[in-house]
Structure 1
Amino acid sequence: MSASPAPFAPAPEDRRDLAAESIARAAAQALRLELETYPKPGLVSHVDSGSHADMDAGTFRASTGAIAPFFQSLARAGAAGASMPALRRIGLEAEAAMRAATGGVNTHRGAIFGVGLLCAAAGALPRAGAGALGRLVQERYGAAILDGPVLLHAPGARARRRHGVGGAPAEAVAGFPSLYRVGLPALRRGRQARPGDAEAARVEACLALVAHVEDTNLLHRGGPAGFAFARAEAARFIAEGGVAQPDWRERAEALHRAFVARNLSPGGAADLLAMTLFVDGIERGGMEGRP
Structure 2
Amino acid sequence: MNVALRWKSSPESEHRAEQLGHLASLCLKLEVETYPKPGLVSHVDNGAHGDMDAELLCRSADTLTSFFRDLAIAGAEGAGMNRLRAVGVAAERAMLTATCGVNTHRGAIFGLGLLCAAAGYRNAVGIRKPLGRLVSERWGEDILSGPVSLRSHGAVVSRRYGAGGARAEAAQGFPSVYDIALPALHAARKLAAHDEEAARIQTCMTLIADVTDTNLLHRGGPEGLRFAQASASAFLAAGGVGSLGWRGRAVDIHQAFVARNLSPGGSADLLAMALFVDRLEA
Q: 2:20 aligns with which of 6, 23, 48?
A: 23
The size of the alignment, in residue pairs, is 273
Question: Closer, same or farther in 2 for the Cα pair 1:128/1:45, shift >3 Å?
Answer: farther
Are residue 118 (structure 1) and residue 115 (structure 2) matched?
Answer: yes
Q: 2:72 aligns with which of 68, 71, 75?
A: 75
Gaps of 5+ in 1: 1-10, 285-291
Secondary structure of 1:146's counterpart equals helix
Mapped contact 1:60–1:107 kept (Cα < 8 A): yes
Distance in 1, Cα, partners of 2:167 & 2:232: 23
Secondary structure of 1:125's counterpart equals helix
Q: CA deviation at 1:33?
A: 0.4
1:92-119 superposed Cα distances (whole Å, 9 cap, x missing partner):
0000000000000000000000000000
Distance in 1, Cα, partners of 2:159 & 2:121: 33
Distance in 2, Cα, partners of 1:128 & 1:278: 18
Q: Give the counterpart letter for 2:256 in structure 1.
A: A
Are residue 164 (structure 1) and residue 141 (structure 2) matched?
Answer: no
Q: Where has structure 1 moved over 4 Å in runs of 4 or more?
A: none
Distance in 1, Cα, partners of 2:108 & 2:21: 13
Q: 1:190 aligns with which of 188, 213, 236?
A: 188
Aligned counterparts, 1:1-291, within 5 A: 13-126=10-123, 129=128, 132-284=130-282
Distance in 2, Cα, partners of 1:174 & 1:214: 15
Distance in 1, Cα, partners of 2:174 & 2:127: 15
Q: CA deviation at 1:43?
A: 0.3
Q: CA deviation at 1:12?
A: 5.4
Distance in 1, Cα, partners of 2:137 & 2:154: 24
1:70-92 superposed Cα distances (whole Å, 9 cap, x missing partner):
00000000000100111000000
1:228-248 superposed Cα distances (whole Å, 9 cap, x missing partner):
110111112112211111111
Distance in 1, Cα, partners of 2:234 & 2:174: 24
Q: Give the counterpart letter for 1:258 in structure 2.
A: A
Mapped contact 1:190–1:205 kept (Cα < 8 A): yes
Q: CA deviation at 1:172?
A: 0.3
Q: CA deviation at 1:167?
A: 0.7
Please say which of residues 149-158 and 40-49 is displaced more in the overlay: 149-158
Secondary structure of 2:37's counterpart equals coil
Q: CA deviation at 1:195?
A: 1.8
Q: CA deviation at 1:128?
A: 7.0
Q: Give the counterpart letter for 1:66 in structure 2.
A: T
Give the aligned partner of residue 5 of structure 2: none
Q: TM-score, normalised by structure 2?
A: 0.94
Q: CA deviation at 1:41?
A: 0.2
Distance in 1, Cα, partners of 2:240 & 2:180: 14
Distance in 2, Cα, partners of 1:84 & 1:213: 26
Mapped contact 1:26–1:282 kept (Cα < 8 A): no
Distance in 1, Cα, partners of 2:77 & 2:88: 16
Q: CA deviation at 1:26?
A: 1.0
Please say which of residues 67-76 and 151-160 is displaced more in the overlay: 151-160
Q: CA deviation at 1:13?
A: 2.3
Mapped contact 1:128–1:282 kept (Cα < 8 A): no
Give the aligned partner of residue 8 of structure 1: none
Distance in 1, Cα, partners of 2:233 & 2:20: 33
Distance in 2, Cα, partners of 1:120 & 1:155: 25
Secondary structure of 1:107's counterpart equals coil
Distance in 2, Cα, partners of 1:145 & 1:12: 27
Distance in 2, Cα, partners of 1:22 & 1:283: 15
Q: CA deviation at 1:196?
A: 3.4
Distance in 2, Cα, partners of 1:183 & 1:240: 19
Q: Give the counterpart letter for 2:52 in structure 1.
A: M
Mapped contact 1:75–1:121 kept (Cα < 8 A): yes
